[in-house]
Each structure stands twice: as structure tokens, then as C-alpha cells.
Amino acid sequence: MKGPQLFTPVTIGGHTYRNRIVIAPMCQYSAENGCMNDWHRIHLGQLALSGAAVLTIEATAVVPEGRITYGDAGLWDDTTEAAMGDVLDSVRRWSDMPIAIQLAHAGRKASSEVPWKGGAQLPPDHPDGWQTLAPSAQPFTADHRPPIALDRAGLDRIRDGFADAARRAARIGIDAVQLHGAHGYLLHEFLSPLSNLRDDEYGGSLENRMRFPLEVFDAVREAFPPDRGVTMRVSATDWVEGGWDIEGTIAFARALEARGCAAIHVSSGGLDPRQDIPMGPSYQVPLARAVKQACGLPVIAVGLISDYDQAEAIIGTGDADMIALARTILYDPRWPWHAAAHLGGRVTAPPQYLRAQPSRFRDLFGGA
């Protein structure tokens, strides 16, 4: 019988992955001045033993004011690069899982408290806060301080920050870069007409609103080694009337494809508190399907994917090329093992764990 599609290899961005399971970037809000530490060593280390195809490092700020919170990881100078490199050296000592990184700038949603302390935006005069920047001086909510609209020098500095972070990522051996163009952060803010009210060449028409995110992509693609992939995460819709929508996403995906983008991760929402999301299992999969049908880019589906048969169906029907897990794999870091056992697939496991294979699943660790 034909084996499960979830556990077949796939080649994206010049790299062949063992299966179709991506560990999505998940913010830990536990860095110190942008520097990763022992928490990240533990967190990434245990996920690197999960049997997934690729591990993605959390949203990593390319400049200090691009952090969501003061606890975000960064990759903007030699100190943050050395800290991340040290963590990754430990992970790679025991795992050969490819490692990607999400490079990000939080835009008007930056300067926030960590979630377990309420997550409120911190004012610039707070010890852990700073002035936010965005395409336009439009706050995320009425409770937020208005951001400063970026001028030409600010745009150049952020674009160059993305490129510099990509070069640093390459130096510490990261296998792929994902650019964060979703969830209401800076690149998404440029795309959406709800947050981008500019009247220059970066605002107004769809072509103009796509301009800065595409400039960032081009700069990162040039800075990162050509044999390693650069991908983009998008919010395919704002779920608000008059906002960013699937038609704009398809146009953006086609522009990215023409520039050599390796894949697109299709999420949604996060830009406007008025969003009305039809939440439920696989609720974003139709968005991924629409993008996949409209362009030739490999597509990664994300969002409330937790069931093994659900994940297999997404790949088996061709709705997406890979699926990404976030909270699901935090709750169950051995989800790929359990999915392989349920579906009749095989995963790679470290030799120290081989004796954990249940006798009824004799070929579960066949890839080890």
C-alpha cells in the first residue's frame, strides 16, 4: 500500500526534507538584550529531537526596536550573533535537523510587555519600552501610542538590517530564512490598506504597498547564500472588510515567485482588532489552497492543525506541500512520532531513544 504522504520527502529551496512537518517559529520572550540563552538551548534542543523535517527559530528582530517585547531574540550585532551561534552549536551536536530562522520587525506592535505579564504596549519612557515605527502614524488600537511614520532613511536602515541579519544567519550555519510578513507586523503593515496610509511610492496602489516588502525580500535574497532558501510568511487576509485579502496575497505570491522565493507560509489575521476570524480546525487551509492553485510556489499551511489524519489530508489532497505546527508541538513535542505511528510512517530518532520504540510499531524509527 502507498505510505502516508505526510512522511514523504520534499525538496524546497534546494534542500530535501525528510517529511512534510515544519516546526513553526514560536516566540519565547526569554532573551536578554536580544541574546538567546539556556532557555533557548533547552527549548530548541528538545524540538530538534522531535522527528519533524525542519525547526524554525522564533521571530528574530533585525534591529532592537523591531522586537515585539524586550524579551525577543535578535540578530543585529556580533553579541546577538554569538549568543545564537552558541545555542545552535549545542543543538547541532545532537541533531542533524535543518534549522531555519524567521527574521522580523514588529512595527507598530513592538514595545510590548511579555504575554504572561499582560502583553500591553509599553510607552517609550518605560525602562523596557521604546518608540514604535510603522508605515503610517496609525496605532494598532486606541490604547497604543501612535507609531512614527518611517522616512526614507528609516526604510533603508530596516531593509539593510534584514540583509545584515541574513548574512549573520548564514555565518552561523542557518539553513533557510523565513521573512515575517504576517500577523500585523511591519511588512504586513505595508501590505494592508488599513495600516498603510502613505501617499508616496510605498502607499496607495497594491503595487506600491508591496514595494517595501519586496525590497526587503530582494535584499535578503541577495545577502543569503544562493543555495539556501528564503521564504515568506503572510497573512492571506486581515478578516476585515477593506483590508488585505486573498487577491492581494496571490499577487504578492506571484511577485515573490518571480524573485526566487523558495516557499510561502500562509497564515492570516493579526493586523486589526476588528478581525472576525472563522476559527476552527484547518480554517486557514482554504487560503493555502487558493495560493497554491494560483502560483507555482511551494505552500506551507498553518493554523489549528493538530490531528494526524487532518495533517495527512492536507498533504494528500494537495492543498499544501508542508504543514507547520506551533502550539500543537509545544503541547506534544513528539507529535511527529505519534503521527508516524498512527499513519504508518517512519521518523528519525536519536540512538539514545531507539529503545523507546513500542514493539507494535517495529518500523517507526526506520529512518534513524
**How many Cβ atoms are within 10 Å of 368's Cβ, its own excluded?**
14
Alpha-helical regions (H) of 246-295: 246-258, 285-294
Query: Which long-range contacts (C-beta less than 8 Å, at least 24 apart) are formed by 115-119?
Result: 115/29, 116/29
Sign of CA dihedral 134, 58, 88, 315: negative
Which of left, alpha, beta for 173 (phi over 0: left; psi -120 to 50: alpha)? left
DSSP 357: S
Q: Cell numbers 512595527 label which residue?
A: 107
State yes or no: is 308 an active-site residue.
Answer: no
CA–CA dist 230, 242 (Å, integer): 30
| DSSP string over 166-224 | HHHHHHTT--EEEEEE-TTSHHHHHH-TTT----STTSSSHHHHHHHHHHHHHHHHHHS
CA–CA dist 129, 263 (Å, integer): 34
CA–CA dist 50, 209 (Å, integer): 39
Residue 201 · residue 148 · CB < 8 Å:
no
Q: Which of 17, 29, 70, 185 is catalytic?
A: 185
The residues annotated with a catalytic role in the active site are 185
